[in-house]
Each structure stands twice: as structure tokens, then as C-alpha cells.
Amino acid sequence: TIYRNIARYPDARTTPGVRALRIDAPLFFANTAFLKDTITDAVADGDVEHLVVDCKAISSIDAQALATLDEIVAELHRRGVQLWLSGVRGPVRDALAAAGLTARIGADHIVECVYDAVKRAAGPQRTAQPA
């Protein structure tokens, strides 16, 4: 399965209730506002039940980004949105665990690839729909 930017690929299919996005940078104090804005925008329309974040390009995360991610997790929980992280690198995974974020997100919501996250989030009852 290939995941594409639906703004660039209008024929891409989507899964109802599931939104996926990719973060292409290390997370640190200078881009925490961008992270928060990106995730807030992704769930703003209220139709999102599951947010999948592709983390494979995140090579590191600092204390400020961990604190911001903690705020994001709390906000998503308040909105009833389940967060899924895919492709989390070892050092980032270790930092998430040390900060208590693995427990708050749920270890079962940190998976190897976007496909696994979307499949588990969507469950057997949903299928991809045209965008």
C-alpha cells in the first residue's frame, strides 16, 4: 500500500475516520509550534477518530518537543482522537518511554509502519473511499 498526499493526488483513496500525516524533521524546541499546529489542523474538521503520524524521518526529539507532544496527546484524548505513531526510531522510542508518553499513547498504538496503523485503526468494518 502506498500513502500519498491527498492534496497532490486527488484520486487517492481515504479511510473514513482515519487521517495520516508525516513529520519530516527532528522534533526540537524550534519546531514545536509547527508540530502542534500541524496536528491541530489535521483533526480540526472533527471527522477524525484516528490520527496516524509517520515518524520514520524523526531522528531525534528534545525535552521541549516531548512536553509539546504530551500536550498534544492530552488534547487528542479530549477530542476523542486516538493517536498512532508509526516507524518510530529507537532513540525516539526510548525518549518517548522515558517521558511516560509510550504509556499515555499506548504501546499498542506505536507500530512499525503506516499500513499497520491504518489497518488497526480502521478495523475490519472500514474500507478505503475515494478522496
pLDDT, tens only, 17-47:
999 999 999 999 999 999 999 999 999 999 9
Show me where the domains of the chain are located. 13-123
Which tens digit of pLDDT belongs to each residue from 89-111?
A: 999 999 999 999 999 999 999 99
Query: Whole-angstrom Cα distance, residue 59 to residue 62?
Result: 11
Residues 6+ apart with CB under 8 A from 3: 20, 54, 114, 115, 118
Under the banding of pLDDT at 50, 70 and 90, the label for residue 2 is: confident
Residue 4 has pLDDT above 70, yes or no: yes
Which tens digit of pLDDT belongs to each residue from 75-88?
A: 999 999 999 999 99
At the top level of CATH, the class of 13-123 is alpha beta
Q: 101 with 66: CB under 8 angstroms?
A: yes
Under the banding of pLDDT at 50, 70 and 90, the label for residue 125 is: low
CB atoms within 10 A of CB 58: 22
